[in-house]
Structure 1
């Protein structure tokens, strides 16, 4: 039988804090969501000044990344290249860059989604949070 790793609330809060601090350092006003491996919300933060719309977008980006086990940018690229031609409005919001999967010990344990600045900056915030979080995990 295998051991299954998973995020707990404390982990989600650490991820949020890493992303929040990075956003503050760069003067970004964003919304941040952390989901488990099924795309279910664990924790979320909307910074002062972040558009209300970003709250839903960050969650959709995180869900997209968790369910696909890939960065949400992959789907943005497929759409731009004409390889994905149909989307509903709900699914489209998760198809923008800014959702990043969290892999630990070879397992998907969740994802971080960020929305509020340019999409590459959203992804940068999420990647930073995940790297900082995993840097403190035992091997």
Structure 2
């Protein structure tokens, strides 16, 4: 069984992101995720990118799930974030690059660019906070 997972959007692509918008979806070669709020989930999105806490990335790697690679991400906080959450310390995040086929690999993207995960991947994702993600059956 496979599922759509639409993660919490806690921010946007920051000014340091290098993106080619000549195609759809845009191609990002360097990612800055700028937090504007955060409800605490370990998997976040800002189209067309996903970020994941380092601890959850480690669990995914240990599970030997297919369809992803990880890369560094620069994480920044907006002024509003700092004002609203002055004592919040963000965990280390990684860029979750989804490279698998939807409904084939454990992680893939559907034709409308939504994240699709296997039951095994969803089980690992749910070991961490994923309270604000929408999950529904893929097929």
Would you call these one fold, judging by a TM-score over 0.5? no
- Counting strand residues as a fraction of each chain, which structure ranks higher? 2
- Counting helix residues as a fraction of each chain, which structure ranks higher? 1
TM-score range, shorter chain: under 0.3
Higher relative contact order (CA 8 A, sep 6+): 2
TM-score (normalised: structure 2): 0.27
